[in-house]
C-alpha cells in the first residue's frame, strides 16, 4: 500500500490571496501572452457526507502522488500539489490547449467537525479519495452538587 503525505495543523485559516488568482485567471483566459511564470489551476472536487464520514473526491489526473500534500484539522482540508508542465510539440499550431499545469491549492471547509485521527487517503486513476470520520456528538455530563 502506498501512502500520501498528510499533515495535521491549525493554520488552514490563513488563506492565500484569492483576488490575485482570480485576476491571473481572467487575463490568462483572454490571451496566452498573459500566462504567469508560476501558473495555478483549480482541480474539480466533490464533497459528500454519509452518516459516519465526509468524503472528498478530487480529479487531479497527471499529478504524481509525490507532488500531493494534504493538511487537515477538525474544520477544514487543504489539498495542494503540482502538475508538471507538459511538453509542447514544436512546429505545431495548437487549436485548443485547455490542460492546465502548475501548482494548485484548495481549502475545503467541512460541514461538521471530523476526527483527525481517523483519516484515509488513496490516489488511483487520477482521482484522490479522502475519507474523514465525523466526530461523535458530545454527550452532556451530569455534575453532582455537594453540600459544602
> What is the number of domains present in the chain?
1
Range(s) of the domain holding residue 28:
6-86+96-134
Q: What is the predicted pLDDT for the residue at 4?
A: 62
- In eight-state DSSP terms, residue 33 is G
Q: What is the predicted pLDDT for the residue at 136?
A: 85
Note whether 6 and 129 are within 8 A (CB).
no
Cα 28 from chain centre:
22
Tell whether 145 is covered by a domain. no
User: SS3 of 35, please?
Assistant: coil
Tell whether 76 is covered by a domain. yes
CA angle (104, 116, 56) in 5-degree steps: 45
Q: Does the model's pTM come out above 0.75? A: no
Residues 67-121: pLDDT tens digits?
999 999 989 999 999 999 888 888 998 888 888 899 999 999 999 999 999 999 9
Burial pattern 34-57, b for ≥16 Cβ within 10 A else e, equals eeeeebbbebebebeeeeebbebe
Q: What is the CATH number of the domain that holds 104?
A: 2.60.40.790
- Mean residue pLDDT of the chain comes to 82
Amino acid at each position: 500500500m502506498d501512502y500520501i503525505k498528510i499533515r495535521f495543523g491549525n493554520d488552514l485559516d490563513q488563506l492565500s490571496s484569492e483576488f490575485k488568482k482570480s485576476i491571473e485567471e481572467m487575463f490568462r483566459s483572454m490571451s496566452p501572452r498573459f500566462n504567469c511564470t508560476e501558473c495555478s489551476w483549480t482541480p474539480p472536487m466533490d464533497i459528500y457526507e454519509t452518516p459516519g464520514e465526509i468524503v472528498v473526491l478530487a480529479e487531479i489526473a497527471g499529478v504524481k502522488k509525490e507532488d500531493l500534500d494534504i493538511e487537515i484539522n477538525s474544520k477544514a482540508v487543504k489539498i495542494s500539489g503540482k502538475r508538471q508542465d507538459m511538453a509542447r510539440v514544436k512546429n505545431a499550431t495548437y487549436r485548443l490547449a485547455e490542460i492546465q499545469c502548475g501548482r494548485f491549492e484548495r481549502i475545503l471547509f467541512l460541514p461538521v467537525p471530523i476526527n483527525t485521527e481517523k483519516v484515509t487517503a488513496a490516489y488511483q486513476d487520477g482521482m484522490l479519495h479522502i475519507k474523514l470520520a465525523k466526530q461523535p456528538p458530545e454527550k452532556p455530563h451530569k455534575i453532582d452538587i455537594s453540600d459544602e
